[in-house]
């Protein structure tokens, strides 16, 4: 079981050269891990960072103030927005 308690049931296929496989197996052995655990332990943090950078927007203080002001006092919908909402509603 992993640290989260979930069993690993899905598979990921990984192609490697013999030398790459040897290096991974050697590194895993030095860490007293199997190759899967070694790869997961070292790659999941990197994968999480990539996803976080792609999915999170970091605003400056000025932008944060602007967004909050717009949420508190939203502008009236433009004619283009109204037309788009009508087209969307008509598709349902």
- Residue 47 domain flag: yes
- Residue 7 domain flag: no
Dihedral Cα 40, 3, 9, 42, nearest 10 deg:
0
- Residue 51 domain flag: yes
What is the pTM assigned to this prediction? 0.59
- Residue 40 domain flag: yes
- Residue 4 domain flag: no
- Domain span holding position 64: 18-91
- Residue 2 domain flag: no
- Residue 54 domain flag: yes
> N- to C-terminal Cα distance for the chain?
45
Q: What does the pLDDT profile of the chain (92 residues) look like in tens digits?
A: 455 568 888 999 999 999 999 999 999 999 999 999 999 999 999 999 999 999 999 999 999 999 999 999 999 999 999 999 999 999 98
Best CA proximity match to 16, nearest among 32, 27, 1, 8: 27
Q: How many domains does the chain have?
A: 1
């Amino acid at each position: 079981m992993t640290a989260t308690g979930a069993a690993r049931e899905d598979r990921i296929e990984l192609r490697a050269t013999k030398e790459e496989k040897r290096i991974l197996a050697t590194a895993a052995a030095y860490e007293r891990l199997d190759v899967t655990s070694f790869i997961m332990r070292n790659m999941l943090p990197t994968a999480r960072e990539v996803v976080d950078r792609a999915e999170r927007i970091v605003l400056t203080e000025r932008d944060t103030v602007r967004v909050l002001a717009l949420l508190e006092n939203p502008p009236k919908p433009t004619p283009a927005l109204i037309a788009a909402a009508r087209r969307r509603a008509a598709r349902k």
